[in-house]
Amino acid sequence: MSVPHDSSSSQAPLSDLTLLGNSKQSFPNSPSASILETFPNRNPDRDYWVKFHSTDFTSLCPVTGQPDYAQIDILYVPGQRCVETKSLKFYLASYRNQKDFNENITNRIFDDFKKACSPKSLIVEAQFHARGGISLTTRVQYPQSAAPLSIYQG
Protein backbone atom coordinates (compact mmCIF):
# COMPACT_ATOMS: atom_id res chain seq x y z
CA MET A 1 0.00 0.00 0.00
CA SER A 2 1.43 3.32 -1.02
CA VAL A 3 1.28 6.25 1.35
CA PRO A 4 0.90 9.56 -0.50
CA HIS A 5 3.14 12.44 0.50
CA ASP A 6 1.93 16.00 0.60
CA SER A 7 3.79 17.47 -2.37
CA SER A 8 2.51 21.00 -1.72
CA SER A 9 4.55 21.31 1.47
CA SER A 10 7.75 20.35 -0.34
CA GLN A 11 7.61 22.95 -3.12
CA ALA A 12 9.16 25.88 -1.25
CA PRO A 13 12.36 24.06 -0.17
CA LEU A 14 12.92 22.83 -3.74
CA SER A 15 13.33 26.41 -4.93
CA ASP A 16 16.83 26.25 -3.40
CA LEU A 17 17.92 23.76 -6.09
CA THR A 18 19.71 25.76 -8.78
CA LEU A 19 21.16 23.02 -10.99
CA LEU A 20 18.18 20.70 -11.48
CA GLY A 21 16.36 21.70 -14.68
CA ASN A 22 19.00 24.30 -15.58
CA SER A 23 20.78 23.28 -18.79
CA LYS A 24 22.88 26.46 -18.96
CA GLN A 25 25.17 25.60 -16.05
CA SER A 26 28.80 24.65 -16.71
CA PHE A 27 30.97 22.38 -14.61
CA PRO A 28 32.81 24.10 -11.74
CA ASN A 29 36.59 24.49 -11.96
CA SER A 30 37.32 23.17 -8.48
CA PRO A 31 35.51 21.08 -5.86
CA SER A 32 33.65 22.66 -2.96
CA ALA A 33 31.00 21.39 -0.55
CA SER A 34 28.88 24.37 -1.62
CA ILE A 35 28.32 22.73 -5.04
CA LEU A 36 26.34 19.95 -3.36
CA GLU A 37 22.68 20.96 -3.16
CA THR A 38 20.28 19.30 -0.77
CA PHE A 39 16.56 18.95 -0.25
CA PRO A 40 14.48 17.94 2.80
CA ASN A 41 14.30 14.24 3.58
CA ARG A 42 10.60 13.32 3.68
CA ASN A 43 11.35 10.26 5.84
CA PRO A 44 13.91 11.44 8.42
CA ASP A 45 12.64 9.01 11.07
CA ARG A 46 13.33 5.99 8.84
CA ASP A 47 16.87 4.72 8.34
CA TYR A 48 17.27 3.83 4.65
CA TRP A 49 20.33 3.68 2.43
CA VAL A 50 20.90 5.74 -0.71
CA LYS A 51 23.66 4.68 -3.12
CA PHE A 52 25.29 6.87 -5.76
CA HIS A 53 27.44 4.99 -8.28
CA SER A 54 29.70 6.92 -10.65
CA THR A 55 31.87 5.07 -13.17
CA ASP A 56 33.43 8.06 -14.93
CA PHE A 57 35.32 9.95 -12.23
CA THR A 58 38.55 11.65 -13.32
CA SER A 59 41.24 13.53 -11.42
CA LEU A 60 44.93 14.19 -12.07
CA CYS A 61 48.06 12.67 -10.59
CA PRO A 62 49.77 15.39 -8.49
CA VAL A 63 53.22 14.42 -9.76
CA THR A 64 52.82 13.56 -13.44
CA GLY A 65 49.58 15.35 -14.27
CA GLN A 66 48.33 12.14 -15.92
CA PRO A 67 44.61 11.39 -15.52
CA ASP A 68 43.46 9.02 -12.80
CA TYR A 69 40.16 7.27 -13.46
CA ALA A 70 37.94 5.82 -10.76
CA GLN A 71 34.61 4.39 -9.83
CA ILE A 72 33.12 6.31 -6.92
CA ASP A 73 30.43 4.81 -4.69
CA ILE A 74 28.71 6.95 -2.07
CA LEU A 75 26.31 5.21 0.30
CA TYR A 76 24.51 7.12 3.01
CA VAL A 77 21.63 7.09 5.42
CA PRO A 78 20.06 10.55 5.16
CA GLY A 79 19.41 12.67 8.20
CA GLN A 80 17.27 15.77 7.66
CA ARG A 81 18.66 16.46 4.13
CA CYS A 82 19.28 14.44 0.95
CA VAL A 83 21.84 15.28 -1.75
CA GLU A 84 20.40 16.19 -5.14
CA THR A 85 21.86 13.97 -7.88
CA LYS A 86 22.68 16.59 -10.54
CA SER A 87 24.62 18.67 -8.02
CA LEU A 88 26.64 15.55 -7.13
CA LYS A 89 27.39 15.05 -10.83
CA PHE A 90 28.68 18.65 -11.04
CA TYR A 91 30.65 18.22 -7.81
CA LEU A 92 32.39 15.04 -9.01
CA ALA A 93 33.11 16.60 -12.42
CA SER A 94 34.87 19.50 -10.67
CA TYR A 95 37.78 17.12 -9.90
CA ARG A 96 38.71 16.77 -13.59
CA ASN A 97 41.51 19.31 -13.29
CA GLN A 98 42.42 18.67 -9.65
CA LYS A 99 45.90 17.34 -8.92
CA ASP A 100 45.92 15.26 -5.74
CA PHE A 101 46.62 11.81 -4.39
CA ASN A 102 43.79 9.31 -4.64
CA GLU A 103 43.55 8.88 -0.86
CA ASN A 104 43.19 12.63 -0.34
CA ILE A 105 40.50 12.90 -3.00
CA THR A 106 38.43 10.15 -1.37
CA ASN A 107 38.69 11.85 2.02
CA ARG A 108 37.77 15.23 0.55
CA ILE A 109 34.66 13.80 -1.15
CA PHE A 110 33.71 12.24 2.19
CA ASP A 111 34.24 15.50 4.13
CA ASP A 112 32.34 17.65 1.61
CA PHE A 113 29.42 15.21 1.39
CA LYS A 114 29.19 14.95 5.18
CA LYS A 115 29.30 18.75 5.50
CA ALA A 116 26.58 19.20 2.87
CA CYS A 117 23.93 16.86 4.29
CA SER A 118 24.94 15.63 7.79
CA PRO A 119 24.02 11.98 7.13
CA LYS A 120 23.40 9.43 9.89
CA SER A 121 25.88 7.06 8.19
CA LEU A 122 28.20 7.58 5.24
CA ILE A 123 30.56 5.43 3.16
CA VAL A 124 32.65 6.78 0.30
CA GLU A 125 34.62 4.21 -1.68
CA ALA A 126 36.86 5.09 -4.62
CA GLN A 127 38.25 2.34 -6.82
CA PHE A 128 41.00 3.88 -8.91
CA HIS A 129 41.96 2.09 -12.11
CA ALA A 130 45.34 0.41 -12.39
CA ARG A 131 48.35 2.50 -13.31
CA GLY A 132 51.66 0.72 -13.54
CA GLY A 133 49.84 -2.54 -12.82
CA ILE A 134 48.55 -1.45 -9.40
CA SER A 135 44.99 -0.40 -8.65
CA LEU A 136 44.01 1.44 -5.49
CA THR A 137 40.81 1.41 -3.46
CA THR A 138 40.18 3.85 -0.63
CA ARG A 139 37.16 3.66 1.67
CA VAL A 140 36.14 6.20 4.30
CA GLN A 141 33.15 5.62 6.55
CA TYR A 142 31.17 7.18 9.36
CA PRO A 143 30.60 5.98 11.96
CA GLN A 144 33.91 4.15 12.14
CA SER A 145 33.69 0.34 12.12
CA ALA A 146 35.65 -2.83 11.41
CA ALA A 147 37.63 -3.51 8.21
CA PRO A 148 35.51 -2.82 5.12
CA LEU A 149 34.78 -6.10 3.39
CA SER A 150 34.13 -4.71 -0.08
CA ILE A 151 37.79 -3.73 -0.48
CA TYR A 152 38.77 -7.37 -0.10
CA GLN A 153 36.18 -8.81 -2.50
CA GLY A 154 38.29 -8.82 -5.58
**Per-residue pLDDT, 21:** 58
- What pTM value is reported for the model? 0.80
- 117 carries an active-site annotation: no
Q: Which of 6, 61, 111, 117 is catalytic?
A: 61
Average pLDDT over residues 24-49: 89
**Per-residue pLDDT, 23:** 61
The structural domains of the chain, ordered by start, are 30-145 (3.30.1130.10)
| Element holding 51 (H helix, E strand) | strand 50-60
Q: Compute how many other C-beta atoms are within 10 angstroms of the C-beta atom of residue 76.
A: 22
Q: Which of 45, 47, 68, 111 is catalytic?
A: 68
In the chain, where does DSSP find H-type helix? 11-14, 85-93, 102-117
Report the residue count for the chain. 154
- 61 carries an active-site annotation: yes
Q: Compute how many other C-beta atoms are within 10 angstroms of the C-beta atom of residue 31.
A: 22
Q: Are 108 and 31 in contact (CB under 8 A)?
A: yes
Average pLDDT over residues 19-27: 62
